[in-house]
C-alpha cells in the first residue's frame, strides 16, 4: 500500500504534467533598468582653438545627424554673445537665434564698402545733377565731421594703449578700441575721396560706368552682409534648454516632443524581443507610468558587469511631468503569451546553457 506522502507526490506530479500540456497561454514579459533620453539633443560648444562647434544627436538611432564648425579668420578679433532674451525663456523654437558672432574684420569691410558706395553714388549724382556746389559743400562737412571723429578716437586710443601697456585693461577691450581707431582713419580716406570725386566731376559718358560700379559694390555688401548674418547661431530644433556647467559646452537644447528609452536586454531574453513590442516605463517613488514601443534592436553584445546584454531603444510619446531625461527607469516589455510547455523548455535550455 502506498504511503500518504507518495500519494501526495504522485498527485503533484500528475497535476504538473497536466498543467504542462494544457493548451493554456500565459502572459510573459522582460523587465529591467533603462535610461530615459530626449528624442534629440543639439549641443553648442567651443573648441580649444576658439572654433564654435554644433552637433545634433538623434538618440533614437545613436547617430550624430548634423555637425557644423564655425572657423574664424586668423587675426580677426571675434566676440560671441549668447542671446539672453531667448535663453531667459527656457524654451527654444526652431530658428531662434541662440547667439551672435561679432567680427571686427567683416564689420570694417562692410563699413568700407558702404563708404565706397556713398562715394560712387555722390559721384553719379554730380554727373546727373546741376547742384554741384551744394554737393561739394555737403562732402566738405562730412570730411570735417570725419576728422573730428578721428581726433576723438585718437585720444581715446592713446589713453587705452597706456592702460593696456600697464595691464589695466584686457586685450579684448584694447583691440575693440583699436578697431574703432582704424575705422575712423578709413572714414577720413573715404571722405577725402568723396570730396575729390565731386570736385572733379566726370564726363557724361562715364555715367554708365559709375552705375555699374554702384551695382557691383551693392552686391559685394550684400554678400558680406549675408555672411555676417549667417555667423549668428540658430537652433535647428524645438526644445528646452538644459544647463551645462562645462567650460567647453555652452548650451544644450533637448527635444522632448517624444522620448527615447535605452533598454539593455539580457542575452537570455533577447529571443523574446521584437520591434514594435509595447514597453511600460516607470520609476521608483514616482507614480507616473509611461508607455512606448521598441523601434530598434542592436545586433552587437555589450558586456556590463560581467553579464551580456543587447541594447534596444524604445520611443515614448508620453508627456512626462515627474520623470525627466537622464533618469534611470524601470521597464517592462510585453512579450505576448507562452504555454507551460514552451516556458518549461526555455527554462531547461537556460539551465543547460
- Torsion angle (degrees, nearest 10) of CA 336, 341, 343, 346: -120
One digit per residue, the tens of pLDDT, for the chain of length 353 reads: 456 566 666 666 665 555 555 555 556 788 889 999 999 999 888 776 667 788 899 988 888 777 676 655 554 455 677 777 777 777 888 888 887 776 666 666 777 777 777 777 777 666 666 446 667 778 888 888 888 888 888 888 888 888 888 887 777 777 778 888 888 888 888 888 877 777 665 555 566 667 777 787 787 777 767 666 656 788 888 988 887 777 788 888 999 889 999 999 988 888 888 899 999 999 888 888 899 999 998 888 888 888 899 999 999 988 888 888 888 999 998 887 655 555 555 555 555 55
Contact 33, 331 (CB under 8 A): yes
Residues 6+ positions from 53 with CB-CB distance below 8 Å:
43, 44, 45, 46, 47, 67, 68, 69, 70
Distances (CA, A) of 171 to 176, 183, 274, 283: 9, 18, 60, 52
In our burial notation (b when 16+ CB lie closer than 10 A, e otherwise), range 256-267 reads beebbbbbbbee
Beta bridge partner(s), residue 28: none
Beta bridge partner(s), residue 80: 101
Alpha carbons 44 and 248: distance in angstroms, whole number: 9
Question: pTM of the entire structure?
Answer: 0.55
Amino acid at each position: 500500500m502506498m504511503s500518504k506522502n507518495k500519494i501526495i507526490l504522485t498527485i503533484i506530479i500528475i497535476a504538473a504534467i497536466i498543467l504542462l500540456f494544457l493548451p493554456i497561454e500565459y502572459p510573459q514579459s522582460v523587465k529591467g533598468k533603462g535610461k530615459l533620453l530626449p528624442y534629440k539633443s543639439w549641443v553648442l560648444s567651443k573648441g580649444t582653438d576658439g572654433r564654435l562647434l554644433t552637433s545634433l544627436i538623434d538618440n533614437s538611432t545613436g547617430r550624430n545627424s548634423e555637425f557644423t564648425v564655425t572657423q574664424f579668420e586668423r587675426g580677426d578679433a571675434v566676440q560671441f554673445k549668447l542671446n539672453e532674451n531667448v535663453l531667459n525663456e527656457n524654451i527654444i523654437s526652431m530658428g531662434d537665434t541662440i547667439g551672435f558672432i561679432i567680427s571686427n574684420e567683416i564689420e570694417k569691410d562692410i563699413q568700407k564698402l558702404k563708404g565706397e558706395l556713398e562715394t560712387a553714388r555722390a559721384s553719379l549724382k554730380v554727373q546727373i545733377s546741376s547742384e554741384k556746389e551744394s554737393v561739394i559743400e555737403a562732402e566738405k562737412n562730412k570730411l570735417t565731421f570725419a576728422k573730428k571723429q578721428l581726433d576723438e578716437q585718437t585720444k581715446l586710443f592713446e589713453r587705452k594703449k597706456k592702460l593696456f601697456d600697464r595691464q589695466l585693461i584686457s586685450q579684448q577691450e584694447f583691440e575693440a578700441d583699436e578697431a574703432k581707431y582704424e575705422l575712423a582713419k578709413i572714414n577720413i580716406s573715404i571722405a577725402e575721396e568723396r570730396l575729390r570725386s565731386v570736385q572733379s566731376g566726370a564726363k557724361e559718358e562715364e555715367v554708365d560706368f559709375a552705375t555699374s560700379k554702384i551695382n557691383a559694390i551693392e552686391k559685394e555688401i550684400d554678400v558680406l552682409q549675408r555672411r555676417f548674418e549667417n555667423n549668428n547661431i540658430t537652433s535647428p530644433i524645438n526644445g528646452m534648454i538644459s544647463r551645462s556647467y562645462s567650460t567647453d559646452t555652452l548650451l544644450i537644447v533637448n527635444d522632448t516632443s517624444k522620448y527615447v528609452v535605452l533598454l539593455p536586454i539580457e542575452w537570455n531574453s533577447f529571443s523574446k524581443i521584437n520591434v514594435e513590442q509595447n514597453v511600460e516605463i516607470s520609476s521608483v517613488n514616482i507614480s507616473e507610468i509611461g508607455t512606448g514601443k521598441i523601434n530598434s534592436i542592436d545586433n552587437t553584445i555589450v558586456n556590463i558587469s560581467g553579464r551580456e546584454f543587447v541594447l534596444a531603444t524604445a520611443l515614448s510619446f508620453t508627456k512626462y511631468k515627474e520623470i525627466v531625461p537622464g533618469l534611470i527607469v524601470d521597464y517592462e516589455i510585453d512579450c505576448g503569451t507562452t504555454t507551460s510547455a514552451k516556458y518549461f523548455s526555455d527554462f531547461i535550455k537556460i539551465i543547460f546553457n
